[in-house]
Chain A
Amino acid sequence: MKAIQAEGLAKTFRVKQKEKGMKGSIQSVFHPKTEEVRAVDGVSFSVEEGEVLAFIGPNGAGKSTTIKMLTGILYPDGGKVEVLGIDPVKKRKQLAYQIGTVFGQKEQLWTHLTPYDNFKFFAAIYDIPEREADARIRELGETFALGAFINTPVRNLSLGQRIRCEIVASLIHRPSVLFLDEPTIGLDPVVKENIRQLIKQMNKEFHTTIFLTSHDIGDIEKLCKRIIIVNAGRIVLDDSMQNLKYHYLNKKIVEMKLQEETTLAPMQGIAVLKEKGCHVKLEVDTTKMRINDALAHIDAEHVEDINISNVPLENIIMEIYKSEKGADGGLA
């Protein structure tokens, strides 16, 4: 069954425009000008139950606007959307019982209360009986290792501890779909990894569908099996992570330390990225040249040290962003 189904989803905002300076300010009083910005422009996709999907794009691509339409916060101007078979526009409240949201940049917890009191609060909001709420708090508290700070006011928690609590608060009603909007923003690498593990575990244990937006490639690489890239309100790529790597990772980075300074003869399929003394960095396009042929061309006998790696996923995604026109002017 499909957890999320969006067809031709569109949203346009009217944005105020003002000429610069005082003259512009006075003009805007008498002749206010607005400009229409198409934040989401006919987006169609579906997400299977239990899937972990990365929904990414540069700033202003329309990611958050899409999430807000999927959760019923914003009304789409066009298209159709269903989450768990529910129309978010018509039945936002009903849908709220089935979904959870974590916005990394926004706090939903009451900062002066302890995590425990917060969880009890959210349990009551979602009409969960007292006894069941206590059992869930215990269960999630163990999974997310909250024991040491469950009775400390949220304002005194570290960012990593707070994010863990935010996720637990979003899971207290056992949502079938969890929307995570930059859940690891501002966290150190260790805590990031911890959060990723917990998200993975949650998906495995509770079969929760996860809709993730993040600028952190690590989140995407480690959590998601499918990726949707949006730019200027449109989907520019919808593929599995495996396919993305297979199709786009056809370039290898070869870093070498040679025995003596050499100038490499130009050759199709090999691009010299950096050359400094005995150190050379090349990019080999494996669709044009096999990696073995490239090494033969270099004359491997003179190589003192060599490292062959894939092009970082970050670079691939940046390339996809750049290849699409109109990256500017959208709304997030």
Chain B
Amino acid sequence: MRKYAVIYRSVLMENMQYVMNIFMGFISYFMFIFVFIHLWNYMYSSPGELISGYTREQMIWYTMITEMMWFGAGSGTVSRQAAKDIRSGNIAYLMNKPYHYTLYILAKHAGEWSIQLPMYAVLATVMGITMVGSLPDFHAITLLAVIPCIILGITINAVFKLCISLISFWIEDSNPFQWLYDKLLLIVGTIFPIEIFPAQMQPFLKLTPIYTVCYGPAKLIVDFDMGKCVEILVVQIIYLAAGCSLMFFIYGKGGKKLYVNGG
């Protein structure tokens, strides 16, 4: 594992030189959240009203947390970069090193989000406290249980996105699949919590990665429950194991189909 830690550290060192770029992303985040604050303020006509079991503060904080994860862990490494490596044949020059290519990409991705995410967390906290108000019944101690859920959620998302990129071994362009996956995640689970959707859909949605990637960690922050936390952690571990197995399987099969043209 030492070599993956070194990859992680190297990306961290590299990205520290580009911290200013992250601030540019803050503008998009601010605008997005600003719109949602006004939208939910309009939807909640009276104080204390509940929509699908969420108070106004919980609903806005939920969106801020999922969007924080979306922006903070967003990177082209597991999607565009991996797909490009395969299509351009550049993967050939990464495969001949004594590491597993997929774990190399995941370590690089981790190096990227571990700088971005804390910065977005600070922004989300400042925006939330000043524009929405603090979360009712929130205890900072619960973060000790929630942070591992956030890290697992981001990792599961990266594994699934990498699986989609690895399809590039067979097809010309995996971007349309990335787009579908992203939009599904954005609408069901990021912008709106699962409870907003019809009751018949909810059991199905809870079986998808959405439950573990964004809904679970954000739900635990706005409405912590130890039982729920354990349930989410267990599901995340199952998802991570299944996702990694799928990732190694696709990579193993795809690697044999690698086509590298030209010197």
Contact = CB atoms under 8 A, between A and B. Distances in A.
Interface of A: 13-15, 59, 63-65, 68, 71-75, 92-93, 96-97, 99, 101, 103, 105-106, 108, 110, 112-113, 117, 120-121, 124-127, 181-182, 213, 331-332
Contacts of B260: 64-65, 68, 73-74
B98 A59 contact: no
B168 to A, nearest CB: 15
A101 B96 contact: yes
29 contacts: A13-B261, A15-B261, A63-B263, A65-B260, A71-B96, A72-B95, A72-B96, A73-B92, A73-B258, A75-B256, A92-B96, A97-B98, A99-B96, A103-B93, A105-B263, A106-B90, A106-B93, A113-B13, A117-B13, A120-B6, A121-B6, A121-B7, A124-B3, A125-B7, A127-B2, A182-B263, A331-B261, A331-B262, A332-B261
Contacts of A108: 93
A332 B263 CA distance: 5
A247 to B, nearest CB: 28
B10 interface: yes
Contacts of B97: 96, 125
A125 B6 contact: yes
A1 B262 CA distance: 32
A331 B263 CA distance: 8
Contacts of B93: 101, 103, 106, 108
A15 B260 CA distance: 11
Given A73-B96, A125-B99, 20 more contacts: A13-B259, A14-B259, A64-B263, A71-B96, A72-B95, A73-B95, A73-B258, A74-B92, A75-B256, A96-B97, A101-B96, A105-B263, A106-B90, A108-B93, A121-B10, A125-B97, A125-B98, A182-B263, A332-B261, A332-B262
B209 to A, nearest CB: 30
A226 to B, nearest CB: 21
In the A-B complex, list the 7 residue pairs whose CB atoms are closest, starting with the nearest. Answer: A64-B263, A124-B6, A332-B263, A96-B98, A112-B14, A73-B92, A71-B96
A126 B3 CA distance: 8
Contacts, number: 74
Nearest to B104: A125
B17 interface: yes
Kindly name the residue among B2, B97, B258 whose own CB sees the greatest number of chain A CB atoms within 10 A. Answer: B97
A112 B10 CA distance: 10
A129 B261 CA distance: 37
Contacts of B256: 75
A213 B263 CA distance: 10
